[in-house]
Amino acid sequence: MKCRVCRAPAVLDIRRHNAAFCRDHFLKHCAEQVRRSIKDHDMISAGERVVVAVSGGKDSLALWDMLIGLGYDADGLYLGLGIGEYSDASGHTARVFAHERGLKLHEVDLAGEFGYDIPGAAAATHRAPCGACGLSKRHLFNAVAIEHGYDVVATGHNLDDEAAVLLGNVLRWETGYLGRQHPVLPEAPGFARKVKPLYRLGERETAAYCVLRGLDYQVEECPMAEGNRHLGYKDVLNALEDRSAGAKAAFVFGFVDRAHERFTDDAGAEREGLGACVVCRSPTTGDVCAFCRLRERVASRSGPSR
């Protein structure tokens, strides 16, 4: 196996590109995929400030590293979800990464600042933890971006994540979600732009990127992910990819290039006619936003019952 570019011994092959790369050319390939995503979708303009949602895992650290390498002004944001040892270790990893590179990391601790954690929210809502977790992340990433004047929130969703979410949305024909599933969600009043610069890279590639760059990332996955529907979809997609290299990329890139637009009307009304939440001032359709309702629900459950 030789590097496609320089013919030196390769460290990794990427079947869907029918190519193998040496270390340096693999890292260049990753940066090029990210540069291309940003350019093709006008994700970040010159001079804009970016906040990267950092979990301490391979994707978010690879993303932060690549954005800095490409010359962007990118700070990090870590959310303490209160998921036991997993959260302790991932917070530590994110802090070490930022500290070693002199990067700015914002931290928000759910329990300390909002009085609940993800296991508590799951118990109070009698739902899978990922629902409350996703809601909290969406709200807080945006709220921190708005509060600190960032133009863009960048998340580490990779090709495998996007393919799994797309499969889930297609299986149930969630046309509103399909209209919002895109590498860029534009800014709107009260909302920063959301971008996914890693959507062209598979998770095997982001992991290899971290290893080859010597980035210390949190290898353990979240223990609450068990039973998450998307893991099942990932298994199905991996089986497809085994039989037909490039299936995931064709599925996601074809959707982005040729199908997404057909669903934008279904998602369109979402961000129109919004008022401000009476509690936190975030944009919402009702009086109180979903995040504040969640907080209230957990508080009333775990508070004194007398």
- Using CB under 6 A, list all residues that contact ligand Q46: 118, 129-130, 133-134, 222, 224-225, 228
CA angle, corner 197, sides to 170 and 16, nearest 5? 65
Beta sheet of 152-154, edge-to-edge order: 105-109, 73-80, 49-53, 152-154, 193-195, 184-185
Q: Which is nearer to Zn ion, 86 or 141 (CB)?
A: 141
- Contact partner, 61, from ligand Q46, Zn ion, none, Cβ < 5-8 Å per class: none
How far is the C-alpha of 269 from the C-alpha of 58, rounded, in Å? 35
CB of 225 to ligand Q46, least distance (A): 4
Q: Which is nearer to Zn ion, 143 or 256 (CB)?
A: 143
CB of 294 to Zn ion, least distance (A): 9
How far is the C-alpha of 105 from the C-alpha of 32, rounded, in Å? 25
CB of 10 to Zn ion, least distance (A): 7
Closest CA to 296 of 101, 115, 34, 40: 115
CB of 21 to Zn ion, least distance (A): 6
Closest CA to 282 of 84, 143, 124, 128: 143
Per rule CB under 5 A, is residue 12 in the interface with Zn ion? no
CB of 196 to ligand Q46, least distance (A): 14
Residue 184: strand, helix, or coil: strand
Candidates 4-12, 30-38, 208-216, 246-254 — which segment interacts with Zn ion by CB under 5 A? Answer: 4-12
Using CA atoms, how far residue 43 sits from 20, 147, 182, 277, in Å, is 28, 20, 11, 28
Range 136-139 contact pairs with CB under 8 angstroms and sequence separation of 24 or more: 136/79, 136/81, 136/110, 136/291, 136/294, 137/53, 137/79, 139/282, 139/289, 139/290, 139/291
CA angle, corner 222, sides to 28 and 202, nearest 5? 25
Using CA atoms, how far residue 288 sits from 125, 272, 278, in Å, is 17, 16, 6
Q: Which is nearer to ligand Q46, 130 or 198 (CB)?
A: 130
Q: Which is nearer to ligand Q46, 74 or 165 (CB)?
A: 165
- Residues of span 127-186 touching Zn ion by CB under 5 A: none
- Contact partner, 129, from ligand Q46, Zn ion, none, Cβ < 5-8 Å per class: ligand Q46
CB of 30 to ligand Q46, least distance (A): 21
Per rule CB under 5 A, is residue 22 in the interface with Zn ion? yes
Site string for Zn ion, 25-54 (x = CB under 5 A): x-----------------------------
- Contact partner, 292, from Zn ion, ligand Q46, none, Cβ < 5-8 Å per class: Zn ion
- Contact partner, 118, from Zn ion, ligand Q46, none, Cβ < 5-8 Å per class: ligand Q46
Binding site for Zn ion (CB under 5 A): 3, 5-6, 8, 22, 25, 277, 279-280, 282, 289, 292
